[in-house]
Copies of this chain bind each other. A is one copy, B any other.
C-alpha cells in the first residue's frame, strides 16, 4: 500500500523508539549482553549501567533511585501498586483498563467523572472510607486527554491521613497515579504531584514496549507479583531487561529535555487539526476539557454522530492515515469505550469517535493532509448514508441536549 503521505495519528497507542534510544539499547543486546547479576567485571559494569539508568530516571522524576522498580510495562506497574494493599480502593471511572481490572480484585468505590472527564476531588473525598488504603487517579487520560487534579487529590489524601493520625487509626492510605500518557508532555515530578506511587511507561515516550516502572515512596511496602532470583530488591524477580532499562532512561531524558517545546508544538498542531476538521464539519463534537490547561496538548478526540468509526478507520488507512478509536485494547474488541460511557457521551456519538494523538514525527503538512482526509472520508460516509450537514447539526444538537 503506497499513499501520497503516511500520517500516523495514534501516538497514544504506540510510539516508535527514538533513534537515540535504539542506539543506547543496541550495545546491551550485543557486545554488553552480560547478566547484571554475574560476578565478573564485565557483568558488574552492566549492573552499574542499570543502576546509572535507575539514577537518571530517579533524578528526572525527583525521586531516590532505590525507590524505583523496573517492570515489564505500565500494566505490571499498576498491578504492583495495587498489590501493595489488601483493603478498600478508590478509583475513577475513566482509568486505564489495567487500573480498573486491579481495582476489581479489591473492595472498591469507582468515582464518576464529569462530561469532560475531570474527577472532582470532592467526589473522591466522599468516596474515601476509614478502611480505604489506596486512591488511584491517572495523571492524564489517554482517550479524551483529561489532565486530572492529582495535586488536589494528594491534599485530600493527606487530610485523611491527618484525620486517621488524630483518631489513632493506624491504617495507611496511599495515592497512586498512572502517568503513562502524561510523561511525554507533562512534568512527572513525584514531589510536585504529591503521590505515593507513580507508574510510567517507556512505550509511550519513544522507548521500547514492555518496559515500565513503578515508583514507590519509602512509606510503601511493595509485594512481589512474581517470585524468583530476587532482582529489583526482591520485588520483581527475573534477569533485568538491561537494554530496555537503559533505553527507558534515555527516552525519559529526551522527553524531559523536549517536553516544554514539544507540548507547545503539539498543542499548536492539535488546534490546527481541530480547526481544519470543525471548519468543514461544524457539527463534529470535540470531547475532553475545553480549558487547554486541563488536557493533553497532543490529543484530539472528535466524534461524528451516526457514523461508524471503524468505517472511518478503514477508509483513512487506505489513504495512509492511521487513527485510533479509543484505547488500543478496547479497539481490538471494537466495543464502545468505557471512558466514553463514563463521561455520558451518547452512544450515537461514541460509536463515531476518533482519537487522534500527535507526536514527534508530525508537522503541519501532515496534519493538513490528515484533516483533509478525515473530512473527505466523513463526507463520503454521509453521502453513503444520505446525511447532510443540516441533518447532522440537528442530530448532534438533539444528542447534546441529552448530554452536556
Contact = CB atoms under 8 A, between A and B. Distances in A.
Sorting the interface of chain A by its residue count into under 10, 10 to 19, 20 to 34 or 35 or more gives: 35 or more
A227 B40 contact: no
Q: Which of A19, A208, A227 gathers most chain B CB within 10 Å?
A: A227
A87 B46 CA distance: 40
Contact of A79 (B79, B209, B226, B334): B226
Interface stretch (A58-66, A159-167, A236-244, A292-300): A236-244
A3 B226 CA distance: 40
Interface string A26-48: 10011101110111111100000
Contacts of A314: 40-41
Contacts of A226: 75-76, 79, 98, 225
State the oligomeric state as a number of copies.
2
A49 to B, nearest CB: 13
Contact of A239 (B10, B209, B334): B209
A10 B29 contact: no
> Chain A at the B interface: mostly helix, strand, loop or mixed?
loop
A343 interface: no
Interface of A: 1, 10, 13-17, 19, 22, 25-26, 29-31, 33-35, 37-43, 72-76, 78-79, 96-98, 101-102, 104-105, 203, 208-210, 225-231, 237-244, 310, 313-314, 316-317, 322-325, 327-334
Top 5 A-B residue pairs of the complex, sorted by shortest distance between their CB atoms: A229-B329, A98-B228, A101-B227, A72-B72, A210-B241
